[in-house]
Each structure stands twice: as structure tokens, then as C-alpha cells.
A and B are shown apart, each in its own frame.
Chain A
Amino acid sequence: MARIIVVTSGKGGVGKTTTSASISTGLAQRGYKTAVIDFDVGLRNLDLIMNCERRVVYDFVNVIQGEATLNQALIRDKRVENLFILPASQTRDKEALTAEGVQKVLDEMSETFDYLVCDSPAGIEHGALMALYHADEAIVVTNPEVSSVRDSDRILGILQSKSRRAEQGMDPVKEHLLLTRYNSERVERGEMLSLEDVNDILSISLLGVIPESQAVLNASNQGSPVILEDESEAGGAYADAVARLLGEERPLRFLDGQKKGFLKRMFGG
């Protein structure tokens, strides 16, 4: 049985697709057979970031509607073994994702994969609900600014009420906070919320902090998940996040300007 992880945020443009690409790549690098699924039907981007847009023949909606088999639609990544991409359809709308159809595809994939990473569209409408419904774990991607934190709070509420685990009274979805575009200088100048502020409002466990970095932009323009840029801070921070997702303990890095006592407080208890 695969573990299903949804990457979600409510707000758009905070780094969901970048995160989905890097987390799935990181899991595959660790030897887990992983598929990353683009739920953003009509606005697909994941294939661009994974540099496989020229290899898309069939997509998620084709599989749901029985026009293609899963094996025809899954694209094998050329850089990392064990990594597969299921692209979204660009020509349909989100209503094409039916609850029964998504369930069927995820059930079939669960038999052969270790991890399924679902890249959610922005918003709290049908597409986002379909992406989070089946999740066992949720990575809530948040930027250190008020509107993003508010939307993350909203999506956490939806995870607690509208996910399959909530509806069927199972253990709740395991929630992780991933703070992206973190710029410690701007935090010190008071232009951004600090990690502590965000934690205070959302109060869920911290998966990682990704520093704001030119490497992220370069990587997505080149169609390469930033986690493959070993020497960049953002790549290192994603590698740490994957390790924590797998239950390993890693100290927080790349938080210049934060006091040491603060780090201890984060992980001391």
C-alpha cells in the first residue's frame, strides 16, 4: 500500500509544484518507488518543472475516463530511478476529476508504488478537494506572509473535515508545515513573518524551511527539481525535509539570524 501525500496550500504561487517535484524526487532518490501526480487540470505545470512536457501523450484524465492505461500515461523520469510522473490534462477542466475516477486510479497505483505525491491546485474548490481527499499525510506549503498563513489555516480545517480519513473517522491526516521563500533578512526587518509567528498561528509540526533562493527559479526554468542542486541552500533544505518526512531528525539549517536558543526550542521538546 502506497502512502499518499498531498502538497497543498490554499493560496497560489507559494511553491506547491516546486515542492511536489523536489519531495517526490527526494523520495525516489532514497529508493522508494514514487509517483508524482498533477491535479492541476487545465493549468498543468508539473511536467515543465520535471522537464517531461515533450513526452506527455496521455494524462490523468485519459486514465480516469478509460482512454488510456496507467502504464501508457505514467512518464518515467530520466534522471532519477523509481520516479514517475502522471501529468494533468491541459485541455479539460477540473470537473473531469470525479471522486470515483480518482479513487480507482489511486487504488491501482497504490499496489505498486511506495509513495504517491499529489500536487494540488490552488484554491479550495473541486480540484483541491480531489487532491487532498485520499491523503494520508499533507504538506502544507506556506510563505511567511499573512494571507498565505491564513489560507493554510483554512486548508488545514478542510483537511480535518473533508478528507477521507475525516469522513471515515480514521486517524487524522498527518499535517506538516513547509515554510518556503523564507528570507531571514526580511524577517529581521519586519517585512516577513518569522518562523515563530507562523508556528504560533498554525501550530502544526514543521517539516522544513526553504530559503528564498535564485536556485529555485533557475531550477524550475531549466526543468530540474531544485533538490538535485546539491550545493544550493534550497536543494539542501529540501533534502532535509525529505529526511524528516521519513522520520529522521535533522537540525534546521539556512536560518541565518535566528538565535541558537530558538533552534533548541524548536527541537528540544
Chain B
Amino acid sequence: MSEPAATATENRACFELRGASQTLTVMELHHFDPDALERDLRDKIRQAPNFFRDLPLVIGLDHYEGNAADLDFFQLIGICRTHSIQVLGVRGGDDDIRRLARNAALAWLPGGQASAPRPVPDPEQDTAENTEEGAPAITSTGAGRLVKQPVRSGQQVYAPEGDLIIMAPVGAGAEVLAAGHIHIYGPLRGRALAGVHGDTSASIFCQSLEAELVSVAGHYKISEDLQGDDWRTPARIRLEGDVLTVDPLTR
């Protein structure tokens, strides 16, 4: 019964290597105190248990203030694992940290772009092209991405550079991510994550806020925390200092 499938796979190479970019959650570590970490982590998880289940995590050390010697990666991994969070690697830090990470079998990634400036989108670039119907749904412009069709449950749209503009609804169970701003000309019912590389000046704009989750530069709010006056109204979500705030779009 499975013979035809077997012969088809035999002719193909075992694997191919491809470049891929994946959005990951980074835990920016300021100092390492196992007890405090355990406690704070448990608090966070209680707020959004589904978000954290089997979450792949990178430890960010760009803002680490303690000594490299205090960092016990084995203990850190242990704490995360008890909460079913999978530590993949370490970002940033000096050579000592790099060595410690290697000893703990963690991958080391070069320092973060938390403060890297965002490319300024060229306003004239998006206007003229792609007016015909039936063209591929997703248009990649130099400075961002323009999507004309609804983003459906289970779909993910990512603008690794610049802004993401969606001229349709974002359905429940869909996810949209951008390095810069996210504009949604329709209701936002799924998840929207702006400033995924750490741009704290990014915003999310939508015509009706019905989101499952909104996030700017890693600061997020879930649906439960968004049920204020701005629910189901046009809204802008932005960071004010360290606090994610929701403003009405119409005044």
C-alpha cells in the first residue's frame, strides 16, 4: 500500500539546506538570580500558559549587568525546562559567555539589533505597482510588505524588513509580524507582533481591535487585557516607555 510513496522518496536527497528566518522569543537577562527568575517566570506563565508551552527561547545578554562567572546556564536551562520552555541558545555577550554557552550545549548568536535603526520606507515605492487583480497575494516591496487578501487562521505573514500593510482582515488564529509598523485595514482578530527585532518605536494600527495578542518589541498584551473601551474600535497600539498602550484612532 505504501510502496508508491516509498519509491518516490528514494529518488530524492535526504535533505536540502535552506536559509530560513524564524521569529523567536528572547529573554533579555539583566542579572541572574535563580529564585527571582523562577518566581517571575511562573508569574508570566500564569498570564498566558499557552504562549509559553514548549516555547523556544533565546537568552539575550545585551543588557546583562552581572559577571559572566555568575551565569549558570545549566541552572537557567533547568528552570526553563521545568516550565516546558526550551532554551535554544544565547545572544550577545563576550567571549567568556560564548565559552560558557558552548559548555552548556547552547548555540551562540551574534549580538542583538535592539538599537539598530529601522530602514525608512520609501513612500513612493508602494503606490504605483500591483493594482491588477489576481496577482499573487503578497507583494514584497523594498521597504516592507503589502498583503491584499485576508490572512486566514493558521497563516503567518512576516515582513522581516520595514512595515507590513494588510488591506484585509486578520483572522482569529492568524499571525502577522513585522520589523516595523503593522497597518491593518480591517479587523485584527489574530496576533500582531510589531518591532520583532526590537524596534520600540513600532506601532500596530487596526480598524477594529479584536486581537488575540498584540506585541511591540517583545512587550505583549493578550486578549483578556485588551477588553477596554478600545475593544472593537479603531486603535493604535504602541510602547510608551516600557508600557504597551492602546490609543483610539479616531478622536
Contact = CB atoms under 8 A, between A and B. Distances in A.
A105 interface: no
Interface stretch (B69-77, B86-94, B112-120, B147-155): B147-155
Interface of B: 1-2, 4-5, 8, 134, 136-137, 149-155, 168-169, 171-174, 187, 189
A95 B152 contact: no
Contacts of B136: 169
A154 B152 CA distance: 6
Interface of A: 92-93, 95-96, 98, 100-101, 150-151, 153-154, 156-158, 160-161, 169, 171-172, 200-203
B150 A203 contact: yes
B236 to A, nearest CB: 22
B54 to A, nearest CB: 20
Given A157-B153, A157-B174, A158-B154, 5 more contacts: A95-B5, A100-B4, A172-B134, A201-B169, A203-B169
A133 to B, nearest CB: 15
Interface SS of chain A: helix
Contacts of B168: 203
A213 B173 CA distance: 32
B134 A157 contact: no
A44 B134 CA distance: 36
A158 B152 CA distance: 9
Contact of A98 (B5, B153, B154): B5
A180 B173 CA distance: 23
A98 B5 CA distance: 7
Nearest to A151: B153
B173 A171 contact: no
Contacts of A93: 1
Nearest to B2: A95
Contact of B152 (A92, A157, A169, A200): A157
Contacts of B137: 160, 172
Contacts of A100: 4, 8
B172 A160 contact: no
